[in-house]
């Protein structure tokens, strides 16, 4: 993937640059605040408390509902935050693009760093939370969950790569994606179980990437069941299509980024 200028840095220099960008973004976002990084966890947790209070009387008969809800919220929060920052990553860091010869995809990839850090912390928290409730997931379940997160990250990166170069040409894309994210919160089965939706519509809901990730994660972590091979194949294909399309579009449009900065 080429950027505004052809990258000539060694792999070691690229990793050093990536680490510097990640560290700088983290400090910029959390250092000025009193709560710091804690706010990244408090936001979805506060939403969890509100939603559990509102929906507990509707789905209160399901003892696993609170686990479904917190898993759905944190996974959704990662998707929403990472894609929003990925979309504007090139524009936000445009001042760096002509200062050194490095591939511009580094800016897109590192834009998801803060969301990834929050997600990593959540993985530890939810594992402890489930264990304390007597639902400790096994090694196999945790391995599958990690696989889903890797695929989720690739989906986010694929979207971010494509959206970052398109946003430089079509600035309204930021507003469009804000609306899509708000609508997508209700498309994904976050506050409601997928079972209440007629089965004939499930395929269309699964085309929205957070849906299979949330459903599969709940299955292995909470229900102790493994999705079918067909379901895993569908997720793998969806990941490949989104990530592959993002890479191809970025390679096609990134060389002309400077024209739109």
Q: pLDDT digits over 169-220, tens only? A: 998 999 999 999 999 999 999 888 888 899 999 999 999 999 999 999 999 9
For residues 122 and 108, give the distance between their C-alpha atoms in angstroms, rounded to a whole number: 23
Q: What tokens were used for 226? A: 């493994």
Mean pLDDT of the chain: 83
Q: Residue 43: its pLDDT value, please?
A: 67
Cβ pair 189, 211 in contact under 8 A: yes
Element (DSSP H or E) covering residue 59: helix 38-59
Q: Which is nearest to 47 in space by CA: 70, 64, 30, 28?
A: 70
Region of 9 on the Ramachandran plot (φ > 0 left; ψ -120 to 50 alpha; else beta):
beta
Q: Residue 7: its pLDDT value, please?
A: 47
pLDDT-based confidence at 59, cuts 50/70/90? low
Q: Which is nearest to 43 in space by CA: 18, 16, 78, 8?
A: 78
Residue appearing with tokens 């304390």: 132
Q: Which is nearest to 249 in space by CA: 156, 151, 164?
A: 164
Q: pLDDT digits over 10-33, tens only? A: 666 666 666 676 666 666 665 655
Mean pLDDT of 214-227: 95
For residues 192 and 8, give the distance between their C-alpha atoms in angstroms, rounded to a whole number: 49
For residues 134 and 114, give the distance between their C-alpha atoms in angstroms, rounded to a whole number: 31
Q: Residue 5: its pLDDT value, please?
A: 45
More confident residue, 73 or 154: 154
Q: pLDDT digits over 112-166, tens only? A: 888 888 888 888 888 888 888 888 899 999 999 999 999 999 999 999 999 999 9
For residues 108 and 94, give the distance between their C-alpha atoms in angstroms, rounded to a whole number: 11
């Amino acid at each position: 993937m080429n950027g505004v200028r052809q990258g000539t840095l060694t792999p070691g220099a690229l990793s050093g640059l990536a680490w510097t960008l990640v560290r700088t973004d983290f400090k910029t976002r959390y250092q000025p605040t009193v709560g710091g990084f804690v706010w990244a966890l408090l936001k979805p947790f506060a939403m969890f408390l509100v939603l559990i209070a509102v929906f507990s009387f509707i789905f209160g008969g399901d003892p696993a509902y609170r686990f479904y809800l917190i898993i759905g919220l944190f996974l959704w929060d990662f998707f929403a935050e990472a894609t929003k920052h990925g979309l504007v990553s090139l524009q936000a860091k445009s001042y760096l693009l002509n200062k050194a010869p490095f591939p511009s995809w580094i800016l897109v990839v590192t834009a998801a760093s803060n969301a990834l850090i929050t997600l990593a912390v959540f993985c530890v928290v939810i594992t402890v939370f489930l264990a304390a409730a007597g639902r400790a997931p096994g090694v196999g379940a945790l391995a599958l969950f990690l696989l889903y997160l890797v695929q989720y990250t690739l989906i986010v990166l694929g979207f971010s790569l494509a959206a970052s170069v398109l946003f430089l040409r079509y600035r309204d894309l930021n507003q469009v994606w804000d609306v899509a994210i708000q609508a997508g919160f209700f498309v994904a089965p976050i506050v409601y179980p997928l079972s209440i939706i007629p089965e004939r519509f499930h395929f269309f809901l699964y085309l929205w990437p957070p849906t299979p990730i949330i459903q599969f994660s709940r299955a292995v972590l909470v229900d102790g069941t493994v999705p079918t091979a067909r379901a895993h194949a569908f997720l793998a294909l969806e990941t490949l299509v989104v990530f592959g399309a993002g890479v191809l579009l970025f390679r096609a449009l990134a060389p002309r980024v400077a024209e739109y900065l």
